[in-house]
Structure 1
Amino acid sequence: MNNVMLCSATIGFVISLVTYGFGVWLHDKTKLDIMNPLLISIALTIVILLACKVDYKSYNDSAKYLSYLLTPATVCLAIPLYKQMALLKKNFRAILIGVLAGCLTSMGSVLVMSKLFRLSHADYVTLLPKSITTAIGMGVSEELGGVVTISVAVIIVTGIIGNVIAVGMSKLLNIKSPIARGLMCGTSAHAIGTAKAMQMGEIEGAMSSLAIVVSGLMTVILASFFAMLG
């Protein structure tokens, strides 16, 4: 009986770690951006839960402890930023303007698309925090009257897409500045984009880490204004 309870209590934790580990292995093996470890992990987890008929509540109850690592992992992003403090001070104005432009573009595009597809106000504000980190985005969505669970899903999808296309977009738009590439990743794809930025280079990782914080604060300030427009 105790063994069964222990298995139930850890099944989600084990599934999450194994599927993500497989995703990392597959990405390293293929070297393809589309083989994003998180994307592979999500897809495999869904397949396993459906095949084994494990309900979401049971999975979430045993996997939720991984979420506790989100905050310390985010805080650790300050380390590469600290190492590039001189570069940050030198480009402070350009960084602020760049992140502000990214935030306005993100929320502005949600506004335009919501008008175009005639989404309800609740759906609109649910999508507004799509480009900021989950911890902040959940609070923004709840405060504005959005559906928090959908906001989380949208934030994750946005991050994965940003992670997958970051290198390709940099080449397509001929973005060579490591500062610009880092800000692009952090502002548009939060922590998941930052993971790609760190692979691109130390400066990219530091700037992306900064962009997560600044874009989060700017979105909190601007979200109420944009909510009134939808």
Structure 2
Amino acid sequence: MKDFFMNSIYFGIFLTLISYALGIVISKKTKFFLFSPLIVSIVLCIAFLVAAKIPYESYAAGANFIACLLTPATVCLAIPLYEQVEKLKENWLAVLCGILCGVVVNLVLIFLFCLLFKMEHTEYVSLLGKSLTTAIALGITEELNGIIPVIVVMVVLTGNLGNLFAVQVCKIFRITEPVAKGVAIGTASHALGTSKAIEIGEVEGAMSGLSIGIAGILTVILAPVFAGLIP
């Protein structure tokens, strides 16, 4: 059976879809925010691979077909934005300023924490793209000669944290304006956070999707500047 799983390109697809389906069921049954379908599916996939002693490479051979859907799925986020274009016209300056502030604060905090923990340049630049969608984050990290596995882990971690705690953070800081919620979530936690924003509301999802692209552009411009702060 193990050999069958290792040699089948459909194994990764099957395990991913089944794990996510179980994650949805568990999330609906428990109604506990920590049991997000994304988190549950990741845990289930890892647990199965470890228990069955199946190499990650065997799983990835099939799962990569699903990963290829990431780019078109991100592009599809333009649809809710188009439907909320009037809301964007009314708040374009606030949206732009909010995204810019979020990007700058993110980069400044990374810089300060790297100074605090005395990280070297390579590790530092490997963190600058943590709040961006994977495609942009990988491009920036490669350009700055960072460590690809590090940025991949950080992007996944950041997105999942945003997906898990976005609602709670908004409640704690009493953020009730839909546009503000969407901008904050999209700027801080890219596509995974945006999936939660879409669940919250149409306006939140649209603004979050917009924030992914603009935050990516601003980070591409600012990251090389911040990269030079730690030689």
1:151 deviates by 0.5
1:7 deviates by 5.7
Aligned to 2:145: 145
Aligned 8 A contact 2:20 2:41 in 1: yes
Moved over 6 A (4+): none
1:216 deviates by 0.7
1:130 deviates by 0.5
Superposition pairs for residues 93-108 of structure 1, below 5 Å? 93-108=93-108
Aligned to 1:109: 109
Aligned to 2:88: 88
Structure 2, unpaired ranges of 5+: none
Which amino acid letter does the alignment assign opposite residue 175 of structure 2?
I
For residues 126 and 200 of structure 2, the distance between their equivalents in structure 1, rounded to whole angstroms, comes to 31
CA-atom RMSD, angstroms? 1.4
1:5 deviates by 8.2
For residues 168 and 125 of structure 1, the distance between their equivalents in structure 2, rounded to whole angstroms, comes to 30
- DSSP-derived class of the 1:91 partner: helix
1:98 deviates by 0.2
Structure 1, unpaired ranges of 5+: none
- DSSP-derived class of the 1:127 partner: coil
Which amino acid letter does the alignment assign opposite residue 81 of structure 1?
L
Aligned to 1:11: 11
Aligned to 1:60: 60
For residues 25 and 145 of structure 2, the distance between their equivalents in structure 1, rounded to whole angstroms, comes to 40
Q: How many residues align?
A: 228
Aligned to 1:36: 36
Which amino acid letter does the alignment assign opposite residue 9 of structure 1?
I
Identity of aligned residues (%): 44
- DSSP-derived class of the 2:146 partner: coil
TM-score normalized by the length of structure 1: 0.96
